[in-house]
Structure 1
Amino acid sequence: MDIESIEYPRYLLCKEIFMALDFRSLLAEHIPDGGRGARPRRGKYDFAVAYPDPASLPHDKIMECLSEALSETGDDLAVYPHPQGNTPLREYVADKIKRERDINATADDIILGNGSGQPIDMISAILVNPGDVVITDEWVYGGTLNTLRRHSADIRGVSADEEGMDPDALNFEISKAIQEGKRPKYVYLIATFQNPQGFTITRRRREQLLEVTHRHGVPILEDDCYADNRYGGDQVTSMYNLDDQNSVMYVGSFSKIIAPGMSLGYMTGPDEVLDRAMTVKSGRISEFTAMAVEKYARRYLDAHVEEINNIQRVKRDAMLASLGENFGTGAEWSDPDGGLYIWMKLNDDADMVSLSSKALEEIDVGFHPGTNYSPDGASGRNYIRLCYGYNQPEEIEEGIGKLGAFLAKEGALKS
C-alpha cells in the first residue's frame, strides 16, 4: 500500500485544535514547586549571598596551574576520569584532611563532587526514604534543607546555644522519633562556623553529641565546608576524628576558599556509604577544574587561605562594629570566629520576609530572611542572615547604616 494514499482523519491534521501535552499532570509529587524566573537582583550592599571578595580570586595563578596541568597530562582528557574523580586531587584531599582535620583517609576513600552539595545529595539518596526523619539544627543552611525536601525527608530542627546543638534536645528528638517507629537516618551538623548561626561546636559538646548518637545508633553527617575560613579562636578537631564507632560521614569543599564558581567538594565515610554513593553519583566533575585545583592547591592554597582570611577578618570586624553603632540594643547578633555569616534577631513582630524585598527596592541592601533557614520554611520571620564576604569594608559600614535606619523606620528593632 502506498502510504501517501492513506487518508488520515481530518482531526489529526488540524493544527487549530492540536493540544500540547500538559506536563503539570506528570510532575513528581515529592519535588517542591519552583521555577527558573529571572535571576534575583542583587543589592549594591549585597549581604544576601556568600560571594567572596572578587579581588581575592586568584585568576592568574589558576590559569598558570591549568596551563601547566594541560601540558603535563592533557592527553588524559581523551578518556573519562576515574569515577570517584581526579586521582591526584583525591590524593591531595586525603593529605589535607589528615593534616588539618585529623582524618585518616586514602585517595580511595575520597569521592569528589560538585561542591559539598552533591555529596550531601548522594548521601541523602542512599539513606533517606520518603518520610524518614533527618535531624538538623533549628536554623540551618537552606541548600541542605532543599536537598532533604527533594528526598521527602521529615526534617526536625533542634535548638542550640553558643556551644552548638543542645545534646539533651537532640536526645529528646531522637527518642521521640524512635518511639514513632522512625529512627532518624542521620543528624546533619555544620560543626565549624555554622551557617547561618556562626557558632563552632566546642570539643566537649561534640563529644556529648556523639555520645547521644552512639547510644541511639544514629549516624552524623558532618559538613565542614567553612573550616578553613578561620579568623580567630582555636581549631577544634573534626567530629569524624572524635568518632570511634565508624558512624560519621564527612563532606568538605574548596568553594569558599578558591571560588564558588569552580564548585568542587569531596566526601569520605564508612565503606558501605562510599560504595553505595557511587551507585547514585550523577556525572563527573570537570577534569579541567580538578587538574587546575590540584596544581593550585599544592602550590598556593595555604598562602591564599591566609590572605583571604585576613581580608575577611577585616570585613567581619567592620560589620560587627557597624552593627554596634547602628543597631545598639535594637537587635541581637552573633559574633563568629570565622565563616561568612552573622545571624541577627529582630523584634518578635518583625516580618523580615516582606522587609527583605522592600529593603532591596528602597535602600539597595540585600539580606536573607530567617525563613530560608527553617526546617518548616515558615519560622524565623524575625531573623535575618547577613554575609560580609562580598562588599568592601567602607561599603559594609555604609550599607549597615542604611539598614539600621530602614529597620528602625519600619519598627523592626527591639524597643
Structure 2
Amino acid sequence: MSSFFQGLYGERVKDLRPSPIREMLHLVRRPGIISFAGGMPDPEAFPVELFYQAAGIIKSQGKDVLQYGTTEGYAPLKDFLIQWTAPRMGRKLEHDEMLITAGSSQVSDLLCWALIDKDDLILMEEPSFLGVFLNMHNHGAKFLTVPCDDEGMMVDLIPEKVERAQREGKKVKLCYTIANFHNPLGTTLSLERRRKLIEYAHRYGFAIMEDDPYGYVRFEGEHLPTLFSLDDRGVVIYAGSFSKILAPGTRVGWCCGHKDIIRKMAIFKQGVDVCTSLVAQAMVYEYCRLGHLDSFLPKIIDHYRKKRDAMEDAMRRHLPLEKLHWVKPQGGYFYWVKMDGIDCDRLFQVAVDKQVAFVPGKAFYPNRDGGDQEIRLCYTFASPEQTDQGMRRLGEAMREMIR
C-alpha cells in the first residue's frame, strides 16, 4: 500500500539522495567483520573521566545552562574559542564573527540556506566528503568539480571551469574545500594552492567554506596557514569541530566569518534548532577551561599517529603494491587508495565475504561519475591487530581480483 504522504511530498524529495555509507552499515556491522568503512573515532581515545569532571558545571550553573541559550552560542565558550583559535585564524575574532553550531556539518547546511538557490553551482574537490555534498544536493545545488592530485585540489583548473559556467549564465556562489587531511583523500592543500584559491575567489566573486574538522589532528609536518587567515576580504567561512579533538557525541562545532554572513546563518539557525544544546556547550567549555583540551589533545594525536602507522605498515606488507597508489596522510583519519585494474564494487563483495569492509570510491563523487577503482580506508577505529588482519584479508581479495 502506498504511503499517505506520497501525494504531499515537495519537489526536493523527488531527487533526495541518502548517504550510501549509512545505507551499507547493516553489512559492515555483521559479527566478525573488520571495518575500515566508517569515519568514526576510537572510543578508547575519548577523555571520559576528564569530560565527566566538566559535567560539574551542571551542578554549579544548572539554572543557567538548563535554560534556552542564545542562537549565536554560549558566550564563555566563544570567549575561549576566540583565544584558542587566534593562531589559526591569524587574529582574535569578534563575537559577531563566530557562530556555535551543532557540529561542523550544520555549517554547510546554514550556509546553503543563506546562499544557495536551486541550480546554483558549488565548486568542490572531486572526490569529496559525501556528508556535505549530499546535504548541498538536497538544497538544490549543482556541482562544478575540480580533480585532485597528491597536493589536493588542482586549483589552476578553476578559472576555465568558472568562466565557462558564467558564459552559460550559471552562478558559481561557493567553493567547498577540506584543505587539511582531506576526507576521503588524506591529502593536504599546498600553500601555493591555498593562495591561488583565495585569489580566484576574489577574482570571480565566490565564497569559500573551509571545512577543517581534522586540522588540529596533525601527526607531523608544518601547520599551514588557514584559508581564513590568508583572506583579507571576508570571503572565507571557516568551520571547526570538537568531534575529532574531544568526541563527536558533544555535537558542538563552530564557524567564523564576516559578521554579515554569520548573522544570516544565525537567523536561519533560529528556525532550525533555536540554539546548539546549551548543556553540551557548557560542558565543552568547562572541559576547555579546566585545561583538558590542551593537555589531552596530544594524547589523541599520538593515539591516531600509531594507528596510521599500523595501517601504513600493514598495507605495505599485505597489499599488491604494484597495483596501488596512495598518499600517506600527515594527519586526519583516512587513506585513499587508487587501484589499477581492480573494480571497487566487485572488490567490495569479495572483501565482505572475507569479513573486511571499506567504502567504494564511487560514493565520494558528487556527480556520480568516477571512483570505479578507488577506495577509502579509515584507520582510527580498528585496533592495530585488527588492522593487520583486515589488510591481510583485503590483500587476498585484491589478488583474487587480479587473477
CA distance in 2, matches of 1:38, 1:325: 28
Secondary structure at the residue paired with 1:118? helix
Aligned to 1:59: 48
Aligned to 1:79: 67
Deviation string 1:80-105 (CA, Å, 9 cap, x unpaired) is 11111211111112112113442431
1:150 partnered with 2:138? yes
Aligned to 1:374: 365
Conservation of the 8 A alpha-carbon contact between 1:103 and 1:240: no
1:30 partnered with 2:12? yes
Residue 240 (structure 1) shift: 0.5
Residue 34 (structure 1) shift: 4.3
CA distance in 2, matches of 1:315, 1:394: 10
Q: Which structure 1 segments of 5+ residues have no match?
A: 1-18
Deviation string 1:171-228 (CA, Å, 9 cap, x unpaired) is 1111111111113111111111111111111222111111122111111111111101
Aligned to 1:344: 337
Deviation string 1:11-66 (CA, Å, 9 cap, x unpaired) is xxxxxxxx986312222222315499795243532211122221111111111111
Aligned to 2:106: 118
Secondary structure at the residue paired with 2:113? helix
The share of aligned pairs that are identical, in percent, is: 30
Distance 1:182-1:20 versus aligned 2 partners, 3 A rule = closer
Residue 340 (structure 1) shift: 0.4
The one-letter amino acid of 1:27's match is: Y
1:221 partnered with 2:191? no
CA distance in 2, matches of 1:100, 1:141: 22
CA distance in 2, matches of 1:180, 1:84: 38
- Which residue among 264, 267, 270 is the counterpart of 1:276? 264
Conservation of the 8 A alpha-carbon contact between 1:189 and 1:221: yes
Secondary structure at the residue paired with 1:220? strand
The one-letter amino acid of 2:372's match is: R
Q: Which structure 2 segments of 5+ residues have no match?
A: none
Moved more, 175-184 or 159-168: 159-168
Conservation of the 8 A alpha-carbon contact between 2:71 and 2:276: no
Aligned to 1:9: none
Aligned residue pair count = 391
1:42 partnered with 2:28? yes
Conservation of the 8 A alpha-carbon contact between 1:213 and 1:219: yes
Residue 354 (structure 1) shift: 4.3
1:186 partnered with 2:174? yes
In our comparison, the structure showing a higher alpha carbon Rg is: 1
CA distance in 2, matches of 1:202, 1:78: 44
Conservation of the 8 A alpha-carbon contact between 2:65 and 2:282: no
The one-letter amino acid of 1:337's match is: Q
The one-letter amino acid of 2:59's match is: S
Runs of 4+ with deviation above 4 angstroms: 33-39
Conservation of the 8 A alpha-carbon contact between 2:360 and 2:375: yes
CA distance in 2, matches of 1:292, 1:393: 32
Residue 386 (structure 1) shift: 0.3
Conservation of the 8 A alpha-carbon contact between 2:173 and 2:205: no
Distance 1:244-1:37 versus aligned 2 partners, 3 A rule = closer
Secondary structure at the residue paired with 1:296? helix
- Which residue among 86, 94, 98 is the counterpart of 1:98? 86
Secondary structure at the residue paired with 2:51? helix
Secondary structure at the residue paired with 1:30? helix
Residue 161 (structure 1) shift: 2.3
CA distance in 1, matches of 2:369, 2:160: 23
Conservation of the 8 A alpha-carbon contact between 2:241 and 2:252: yes
Q: CA RMSD in A?
A: 2.0
Residue 408 (structure 1) shift: 1.2
Conservation of the 8 A alpha-carbon contact between 2:67 and 2:278: no
Secondary structure at the residue paired with 1:236? coil
Aligned to 1:302: 294
CA distance in 1, matches of 2:295, 2:39: 21
